[in-house]
Amino acid sequence: MLSYQHGYHAGNFADVHKHTALCQIIDHFKDHKKVVTFIDSHSGRGFYDLCGEQAEKTGEWKDGYARLSDQTVSNPELKRYCDAIKTFQNTHEGLTYPGSPALTQQQMQDNQRAVFFELHPTEFETLQENLKGDQRLRFVHKDAQYHLIDFLPNRQADGLLLIDPSYEIKEDYNTIAKLANACHKRWKAGIIMIWYPLLPEGRHEDLKKGLKNATFYELIGPEKERGMYGTGLALINAPADFDARFKLSENAMKNYLFSS
């Protein structure tokens, strides 16, 4: 089933949380001399038109990135994220929001490489078109569930695997935990970051129980009766200073996103 399209959700509060963490981890590798590999198992189309039909329909970004866009942000991690979005918007037409592939492309160094998986045919085509002409990038039109393992670098290589599925079927919470554990076993040194939604059904608990060696970060919004009330990230092998710095940025995020 491939009915999910990130265009409806781009720039929402979950993207602020996830993309701030992504920028922090890419920055961790900025002075690395060795080859660094970034892998995005569920990439989406690269970047999104915030004035387009999909974003207009939900307006989710207005309760997400829009709440930070005009603010003076002092927390260093959150500022890095905001600066990245502004830089992207200044170099693209209209009002755009970069997804994880465009942010990775923008922040990575010349000697680093990235692999982007996307299964949805039109999302894949648009992703390739949006990020074309960059020799550091490789695009894979395959099911990440079955083919991700084949694209991991050697056990001791440096890098990040972002696993950001759409959880369209409830079994995904178990299969993603198994996939992340298998990737960790095969790529011992790799940082793995898994996104999950907090929904009233509570299925994310299956994912959390199934994951080995992970630390969890959750941003909970104001109480609501339906839909996603919070967003989570599970980190395996995070850099030593990730925890303290990211928690400070989460506190800053809460102020901008959830205070009325």
Binding site for ligand SAM (CB under 6 A): 2, 4, 6, 18, 40, 42-44, 99-100, 117-120, 123, 143-145, 164-166
Q: How far is the CB of 156 from ligand SAM (least distance, A)?
A: 26
CB nearer to ligand SAM: pick between 14 and 211: 14
Residue 195 φ then ψ, to 5°? -90, 145
Q: How far is Cα 6 from Cα 64, in angstroms, rounded to an integer?
A: 14
The C-alpha angle with vertex 22 and arms to 59 and 97, in degrees rounded to 5, equals 30
Residue 191 φ then ψ, to 5°? -80, 135
Element counts in the chain: helices (H) and strands (E):
10, 9
**Positive or negative, the Cα torsion across 7, 162, 167, 66?**
negative
Q: Please choose, from the candidates 25, 60, 30, the residue with its C-alpha nearest in 3D space to the C-alpha of residue 40.
A: 25
CB nearer to ligand SAM: pick between 2 and 51: 2
Of 15, 40, 164, 172, which one is the catalytic site residue? Answer: 164
Q: Please choose, from the candidates 16, 100, 109, the residue with its C-alpha nearest in 3D space to the C-alpha of residue 63.
A: 16
Q: How far is the CB of 73 from ligand SAM (least distance, A)?
A: 20
DSSP code of 103? H
Is residue 4 within 8 A of residue 74, CB to CB? The reply is no
CB nearer to ligand SAM: pick between 193 and 236: 193
Q: How far is the CB of 162 from ligand SAM (least distance, A)?
A: 6
Q: Please choose, from the candidates 187, 220, 245, 173, the residue with its C-alpha nearest in 3D space to the C-alpha of residue 20.
A: 245
Q: How far is the CB of 41 from ligand SAM (least distance, A)?
A: 6
Q: How far is the CB of 48 from ligand SAM (least distance, A)?
A: 8
Q: How far is Cα 54 from Cα 48, in angstroms, rounded to an integer?
A: 9
CB nearer to ligand SAM: pick between 31 and 104: 104
70 is catalytic: no
CB nearer to ligand SAM: pick between 60 and 123: 123
Catalytically active residues are 164
